Structure 1
């Protein structure tokens, strides 16, 4: 009958080996089972081995050295892909869309007046709601006239808004001939009537109007340059004027006393936030 020596396997020349400690390390050694063979394994200082731990063993000659304790393979959880409708975490959220507000601001004239010969005319009734004249009546010994409308602070109540359209209501009354004539419009710096002649700026040709009751049209809602309305809102301009550098065309447009809607300014605006 064969003895235990018949079952031994030579471990010479196998390089690194794996063994299971049968005893805990003590006094720099432990007993381990390597390929079915029970051997004594030297344990370096600083390495502690418990019974039943697997270890990596290096053989040098007839001496076995434990070089490390083997741990179980790490468990790596599977990567779960994000749902199809979930954007990548690195994608920033889109910026919110700007909110655009639109509106209409109606600005009645606070004053309508006519200037002639170095002062505001007072012979037309109230000098702050008088009809507005342009030019000079043929044969008149008086000087040329200029009519004004001032709008106070109301246009500036929407400061910061962008003006998209500006209109003014005009009505021509009897004076001069009946044919269609166009006032020359000017943008005025002042928003209230000054004691002296106002400061005139930009110019534009007004609508061709006939005299009320004789030639149509005599009344209109005339579209001003958009930049004029913007200047009113921004505060750099405050009024409108009808004036010419010659006597003609001589014409009269209604002031507040003749027509409550006279020279009413309407501003169409938008604002984004």
Structure 2
């Protein structure tokens, strides 16, 4: 074997160095490669290693000793865990959860019925009891009772169940009846989604838009924005319709029903949904 002292490579002052075993130890020595040069290296008693293992070398005078050995990196990937072994936990950062997908849209709901209640029954003198105009209050000097006008929306709004309502609007048009000045109806939410036999259940209230009579005072027609919570209640099914009514006789107002105007009481629900 070649003697490392015969080479022209100087390792003085390097302390311990690293070599690769070219042979196993025989009679306390082996052949190792340092920087591409094969040299003879003495091995300490009991040191065991294989060809290709890395050796930790120290110099004493002109003799080089292998003090320790450690295996080379495996050429093949480690064997996957057997069935039933606990899963390996990654120590790296986990991937962030995917962002939710948000869908938005609008749903147009025409009323299934527009009707007016007066004196204990649904009026039929102004047309079909399910598409008639809607009245509020009492005509001055009339011996008849007060009017309450209703619009019912059936089951269509509940097709958005689970969605969040972001806006709700309704189309209203005032027709001739009473005076021509601008008057504001009082809007109420109704529990029923279809017209019942008796007087519907009234709930929340809000002031409606100031409208003049069509052809006389403007505006007579409007797309009115309802409280967003009203639209949500109709979608969730706890409410089903709208109403105009007052506890006194005035203001007496007539708003178009389905038979007078195709867009009458059309409810539009704007919504979003995340998944």
* TM-score normalised to structure 2 length: 0.71
Question: Residue 201 of structure 2 aligns with which residue?
Answer: 199
How many residues align? The count is 205
Counterparts of residues 111-150 of structure 1 (less than 5 Å): 111-150=113-152
Q: 1:171 deviation in Å?
A: 0.1
Q: 1:211 deviation in Å?
A: 0.0
Take 2:113 and 2:240, find their aligned partners in 1: how far apart are those partners? 11
What do the CA deviations read for 1:133-154 (whole angstroms, capped 9, x no partner)? 0000000000000000000000
Counterparts of residues 32-71 of structure 1 (less than 5 Å): 56=45, 69-71=46-48
Q: 1:75 deviation in Å?
A: 3.1
Q: Which has the larger radius of gyration?
A: 1
- Is the Cα–Cα contact under 8 Å of residues 182 and 206 in structure 1 kept in the other structure? yes
Q: 1:89 deviation in Å?
A: 5.5
RMSD: 2.1
What do the CA deviations read for 1:165-210 (whole angstroms, capped 9, x no partner)? 0000000000000000000000000000000000000000000000
Q: 1:21 deviation in Å?
A: 7.9
Give secondary structure in 2 for the equivalent of 1:217.
Answer: coil
Structure 2: give runs of 5+ residues left out of the alignment. Answer: 1-24, 29-42, 50-68, 75-89
User: Is residue 71 of structure 2 the alignment partner of residue 75 of structure 1?
Assistant: yes
Structure 1: give runs of 5+ residues left out of the alignment. Answer: 1-19, 23-32, 34-53, 57-68, 79-87
Q: 1:55 deviation in Å?
A: 7.3
Question: Residue 162 of structure 1 aligns with which residue?
Answer: 164
Take 2:137 and 2:208, find their aligned partners in 1: how far apart are those partners? 14
* TM-score normalised to structure 1 length: 0.72
Give secondary structure in 2 for the equivalent of 1:173.
Answer: coil
What do the CA deviations read for 1:30-57 (whole angstroms, capped 9, x no partner)? xxx9xxxxxxxxxxxxxxxxxxxx773x
Take 1:109 and 1:21, find their aligned partners in 2: how far apart are those partners? 100
Counterparts of residues 121-270 of structure 1 (less than 5 Å): 121-270=123-272
